[in-house]
Structure 1
Amino acid sequence: MQMRLPIAAAGFLLLAGIGAAAAQDVIIAPEQETVIREYVKKQPLASVELPGVELNIGSTLPKTVELHEVPDTEYRYVVVDNRTVVVDPGTRKIVKIIQ
């Protein structure tokens, strides 16, 4: 019985940590996502290659990558390995991958 309490406490702390991490996720409003999608279609960029960088939500792009503005939004974009990624310019983290 004594062993169950620490295990339960550890499980609770783990779940609390997961919840805190999820709270930091960036959610782009649907109308902003529409603006971004339409803009990047009209302003295609040449694709760059970033060996060793995984294209996942939350991945950070190196400072050597030039980010391009999306008007009327706070985001920037770039095409990496033929995939358009939307980036938070303050953190340089990928917040959306547009297929």
Structure 2
Amino acid sequence: MKKYLVSAAAGFALVAGICASFAEDVVVLKPEQQTVVREYIHKQKLASVSLLGVELNIGTALPDTVELHAIDVPDVRYKYTVVGDHAVLVDPDTRKVVQIVE
């Protein structure tokens, strides 16, 4: 019985670790922040940059040559840029795309 409890505990720890790593990659913006951020970005009319050979997805790290712009919205730590006509939110610490703004 003890063997099964140890195995079950190890399994739960593994699942908890996997879930925690996924939770770090999820953008958590309140619905009202989503709207304000989307409107802010669209009003800025930022020129699109082209990144040849880079597939734009959540988790894609942008090169240092891409300029990231601050978002003037309270409690939003992400920056943004426009890549191939898609506005993207970027984690300024990792330069990874965390959300593609529709």
- Aligned length, in residue pairs: 95
Unaligned runs of 5+ in 1: 1-10
1:97 correspondence with 2:93? no
Tell me, in whole angstroms, the C-alpha distance in 2 between the residues paired with 1:53 and 1:14: 32
1:39 correspondence with 2:46? no
TM-score under structure 1 length normalisation:
0.76
Shift in Å, 1:49: 0.6
Tell me, in whole angstroms, the C-alpha distance in 1 between the residues paired with 2:29 and 2:57: 16
Deviation string 1:40-80 (CA, Å, 9 cap, x unpaired) is: 11101111111122211111111110011110221211110
Unaligned runs of 5+ in 2: 1-10
TM-score under structure 2 length normalisation:
0.74
Equivalent residue letter for 1:82: D
SS of residue paired to 2:38: helix
**1:20 maps to which residue?**
20
Equivalent residue letter for 2:21: A
Shift in Å, 1:15: 4.7
